[in-house]
Amino acid sequence: MGSLQYVSTFHPDGHYGLPPSKKLARTYRTTIKECIVRHVEYYLSDENLPTDSFLQKQIAKNPDGYVDISVIAGFNRVRSMTTDIDIVTDALRFSKVLEVSPSGTQIRKKKSPTTNEHTKSIYVDYIPENSDDASIQAYFTAFGEITSMHINPKGFAFVSFATEEAALSAVAFENHPLGARVI
């Protein structure tokens, strides 16, 4: 494993080739690791995971909810930064929201000791076609602070709240009027 082998495939400034100095190479390595962490955190986030059937199946294969790092390293976006699984594993050890398994071969989202993140998210169906992000966010903000929202053009959305109570109050309220439709 050459120390600069993976740097030659990607630079944050969009250029390819080896960086001109060792100091700059260290900067690129740090940046690549940060990019890897950011992408993998998104892959396993409440925003992405509910709509990612492939990752859901990978998580379901393991009783502890881990995904093999080799699977994550095979994703095109990660492979564009490095093909070295050791670099991916090392980068993921610095994540504040993910944890690497004791064996160092798997990754999962850290479990919160006080709450389950999935209880903060709701599924919303039958969204009117003319609805935009702002109108949906404005409506659901009445129930509590929204941390993320994913709207699918097929007429459904996932809304994540800052607290479980906010999500429960939105679910408890029936017949939400949104535009010309009741959802």
87-106 residue pLDDT tens: 999 999 999 899 999 999 99
139: tokens are: 């409506």
83 contacts: CB under 8 Å, gap ≥ 6: 6, 9, 73
16: tokens are: 């390819």
> Percentages helix, strand, coil for the chain, rounded to the nearest 5?
45, 15, 40
Q: pLDDT for 16-73, tens place per residue? A: 444 455 554 555 555 888 889 989 998 998 888 888 889 988 988 988 889 999 999 9
Rounded CA-CA distance 47/51 in Å is 8
Mean pLDDT score of the chain, rounded to an integer?
A: 77
Select the more confidently predicted residue: 78 or 174: 78
